[in-house]
């Protein structure tokens, strides 16, 4: 007669344990968001280029060039900062926690870069609008307003990611013990 409970324990002991499921799902969601961001940027580049070609407007041409340059700069910087944070080094809880930590650091750095880039663009665009105040349109005011709102959003997201970094540090310390 065999002890079924003992056999179940033996099988469970031999099975390789997976990383924390929540952490694995989080990494998967981050991968999906990165893919969605690349698709969104590609769509914005395509639409702005098509609009610039169809309208033959200097404003739309400038907007298309601006979106292209911004995408290349911020996207290139984000790609450079994320080196080493693409996939876990092993299928362990520690590897997933370290990957999440690296990604949080990369996100904070990218947000900081984007914040200062947007701040510079906001100051320059506001100066341009002030210089041409006689031709002020509601569209220009709306653009400046949304740029300022986005600056606040970047600051908020940066604070949240810094909290995530601290949480990941604690998790890594717990897993190592």
Domain residues for 23?
4-176
Average pLDDT over residues 142-147: 92
Residue 45 structure tokens = 């580049």
Please tell me the distance from the alpha carbon of residue 39 to that of residue 98, in angstroms, as a whole number. Answer: 27
Would you state the pLDDT for residue 160?
93
pLDDT > 60? residue 40: yes
Q: What is the mean pLDDT of residues 75-80?
A: 86
Distance of CA 81 to the CA centre of its chain: 11
Split into its structural domains, the chain has a count of: 1
**How confident is the model at residue 26, as a pLDDT?**
85
pLDDT beyond 60 at 73: yes
Total-model pTM: 0.71
pLDDT at res. 166 = 93
Predicted local distance difference test score (pLDDT) of residue 15: 59
> Both tokens of residue 61?
């041409």
Question: For residue range 104-144, what is the model confidence (pLDDT) as tens digits?
Answer: 999 999 999 989 989 998 999 899 888 888 877 888 889 89
Mean residue pLDDT across the chain: 84
Q: Cβ contacts of residue 24 below 8 Å, gap of 6+?
A: 18, 96
């Amino acid at each position: 007669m065999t002890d079924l409970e003992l056999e179940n324990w033996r099988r469970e002991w031999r099975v390789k344990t997976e990383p924390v499921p929540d952490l694995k799902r989080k990494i998967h969601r981050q991968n999906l968001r990165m893919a969605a961001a690349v698709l969104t940027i590609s769509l914005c580049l395509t639409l702005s280029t098509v609009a610039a070609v169809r309208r033959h407007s200097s404003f739309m041409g400038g907007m298309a060039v601006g979106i292209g340059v911004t995408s290349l700069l911020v996207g290139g910087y984000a790609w450079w900062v994320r080196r080493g944070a693409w996939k876990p080094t092993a299928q362990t809880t520690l590897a997933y926690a370290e990957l999440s930590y690296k990604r949080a650091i990369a996100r904070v750095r990218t947000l900081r870069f984007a914040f200062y880039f947007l701040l510079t663009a906001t100051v320059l665009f506001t100066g341009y609008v002030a210089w041409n105040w006689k031709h002020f349109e509601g569209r220009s005011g709306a653009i400046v307003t949304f740029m300022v709102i986005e600056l606040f959003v970047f600051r908020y997201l940066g604070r949240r990611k810094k909290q995530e970094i601290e949480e990941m540090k604690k998790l890594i310390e717990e897993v190592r013990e």
